[in-house]
Amino acid sequence: MTVDASLRSRLGSAGIVGAAATVFARLGFAATRVEDILAAAGIARRTFYKSFSSKEDVLAAVYQLAIQELLGAMTVAAGRGNDPFDVIREGLDVYLDYHAVNARLVRVLVEQAIRSDSPIFPARQRFRAELGRLLDDAVRAKTGKKHDPLLYAALLSALEGLSLELLSGSVTEIEVARAKKVMHLLVERVLGA
């Protein structure tokens, strides 16, 4: 299993991070050894340790790039001047589409990020805060309402739960379309979109 070409180009296909993303997607995080990353990147151990102290550090770099890509795509959707609730739906679609093209890597990232003892847990918290801010901005722009931030946390938790559900099987376009429909309905009912 390889990583989506768009993400791979951002990761740097010849670099350690790109190689690690491919190995994590293929083997999973727990089974991946630094040696596997070295072999995939075609580098010596010494070169690896100049940039990273562990496979956890590389995982954090992969996660950071993945969330930057997602936030960037969502920000582009927001910048188009569309109806704020359309922006929310487009953002959800971007997030869920990401699953279809990067399912195995997303599975590793989500499973690791959700664990409170994971080195990427703090990055997940920041990512959720940013998504909550984007949701709040869209709702305020459309309705002028200020909701309790826990409402957005609940919606994001539902999205993560749906993500895990998708990733527990094979991610197909049909399943992603169903997930989009469910999340759109949830946003509509909860936020009045």
pTM for the whole thing?
Answer: 0.81
Q: Which residues of the chain fall short of a pLDDT of 50?
A: 1-2, 8-14
Query: pLDDT value at position 14?
Result: 44
Is residue 81 within 8 A of residue 180, CB to CB? The reply is no
Q: Kindly list the distances between the CA atom of residue 40 and the CA atoms of 2, 21, 37, 81, 193, in Å, as whole numbers in the listed order.
A: 12, 10, 5, 43, 46
CA–CA separation, 164 and 168 (whole Å): 6
Structural domains in the chain?
55-191 (1.10.357.10)
Query: pLDDT value at position 193?
Result: 60
Query: pLDDT value at position 13?
Result: 40
Query: pLDDT value at position 184?
Result: 93
Query: pLDDT value at position 68?
Result: 87
Query: pLDDT value at position 83?
Result: 80
pLDDT digits (tens, 9 = 90+) for 36-55: 999 999 999 999 999 899 99
- What is the secondary structure of 139-176 as a DSSP string? HHHHH-----HHHHHHHHHHHHHHHHHHHTS---HHHH
